[in-house]
Amino acid sequence: MSAAYVPDQIEQPRMPVAPRHVLPPLAFDGHCHVFGPYDRFPLRHASTYAAPDAPAPRHLRMLDTLGAQRGVLIQPAPYGTDAAALLDALAQGAGRLRGVAVAEPDISDAALAALYEGGVRALRFVEARDPAGRLFPGAVGFGQLPALAPRLKAHGLHAQLWAPCDVYRDHLPALARLDLPLVIDHLGSLVPARGPGDEIFQLMHGLLAEGRIWMKLTVCRVGQAPDYADARFLHDAFVAANPDQLLWGSDWPFVRMGERSPAADALVDLAWDWLGDDTLRAKVWVENPARLYGF
């Protein structure tokens, strides 16, 4: 086990108010993180961002305020492969939550089975690097996924991917041939200013249309606040390409965003308006995540 780090400064996350619109029954917030309490669950790597005060009970209150009866928790990089805080939060969710953990290829089959039993349904792979070319502390890179893919499939797990958009050019075509569900975080980290002719957008759009990837509609990491209008064409193109493999997430508690953190309720209302009709809202908020995460 790596060293333990208790943050010197802890950031209070922005909490939502009730959205203007009422989410459909059994709706998901498909992308959140829990941190702490740090006396029980210290970080395993020094964080590159301000550590939020976001323990499991606060996350559940956030979901309740949004009207989301279900949620998906993503292992944050500062916890590395130590899933204790994640598994504790899933247990506190009492069946309403699923998790995405992080693991190296040497993880045992028994450990993978224990993650599944605890509510984990995927492993996350991150290909984001610092200026020296090093992966973020606690991350497991895309290059480790092929070795793990057959075992993930055997254990009922899928893969979640996050990287700067250009990184996908060199990795995604091969990863999409692994016969494993792949969830792409945060609208593929695409750059709206590049427009619909961007080759990375075209790659992702094609793979989504073919059913070879899933896309997470997390606009706050791509578009410009407050209305994210520059990202609307990406959202709408993915909706048209394959509405059956789309997910929605707020990204609470908005790490690295500080005072720029959006209100999760405003993100719900924006998605409500953009999705446009109840059939599509039910797919993205209820049916698709229920199918992928095994509810």
- Burial annotation 9-24 (CB, 10 A radius, 16+ → b, else e): ebbebbebeebeeebb
CA distance 242 to 237: 9
Residue in 251, 273, 277, 278 annotated catalytic: 251
Tokens of 43: 């970080």
Sheet holding 28-32, edge to edge: 28-32, 70-74, 97-101, 120-126, 158-162, 182-184, 214-217, 246-248
Give the separation between CA 257 and CA 64, rounded to whole angstroms. Answer: 23
Say if residues 61 and 111 touch (Cβ distance below 8 Å).
no
In the chain, the N- to C-terminal Cα span, in Å, equals 32
Distances in whole angstroms, Cα of residue 193 to Cα of each of 84, 222, 234: 40, 10, 11
Q: Is 251 a catalytic residue?
A: yes
**Beta strand 70-74 with 182-184: parallel, antiparallel or unpaired?**
unpaired
Positions annotated as catalytic residues are 251
